[in-house]
């Protein structure tokens, strides 16, 4: 599965379970990999560091659990994530 399809699948998983995640992780950043939440963090930076340590770049999704409207999807390339973290 290519990177964008992988991230799209992880995002769809988030949307399907959004209400459950809001009750557990409201306003936290979660790391989703293979349709499972692997951690929740106060900052996006901490979530990305965790994802990079445990998974390959581009294979995990970091999403802030928020009751806001999620109609806009943004998927970042490996270059964008790597450049932001360093």
What tens-digit pLDDT sequence spans the chain (86 residues)?
555 688 888 999 999 999 999 999 999 999 999 999 999 999 999 999 999 999 988 889 999 998 876 555 555 545 444 444 54
* pLDDT score of 67: 85
User: Cβ distance 24 to 6 under 8 Å?
Assistant: no
* pLDDT score of 56: 87
Distance CA(74)–CA(52), nearest Å, equals 19
* pLDDT score of 83: 45
Distance CA(31)–CA(22), nearest Å, equals 14
Please report, for the chain, the start and end positions of each structural domain, with discontinuous segments joined by +.
Answer: 3-85
Residue 45, token pair as written in the block:
């930076």
């Amino acid at each position: 599965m290519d990177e964008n399809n992988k991230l799209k699948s992880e995002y769809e998983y988030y949307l399907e379970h959004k209400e459950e995640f809001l009750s557990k992780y409201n306003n936290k950043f979660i790391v989703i990999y293979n349709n499972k939440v692997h951690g929740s963090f106060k900052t996006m930076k901490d979530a990305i560091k965790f994802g990079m340590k445990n998974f390959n770049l581009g294979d995990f999704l970091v999403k802030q659990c928020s009751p806001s409207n999620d109609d806009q999807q943004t998927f970042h390339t490996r270059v964008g994530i790597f450049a932001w973290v360093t």
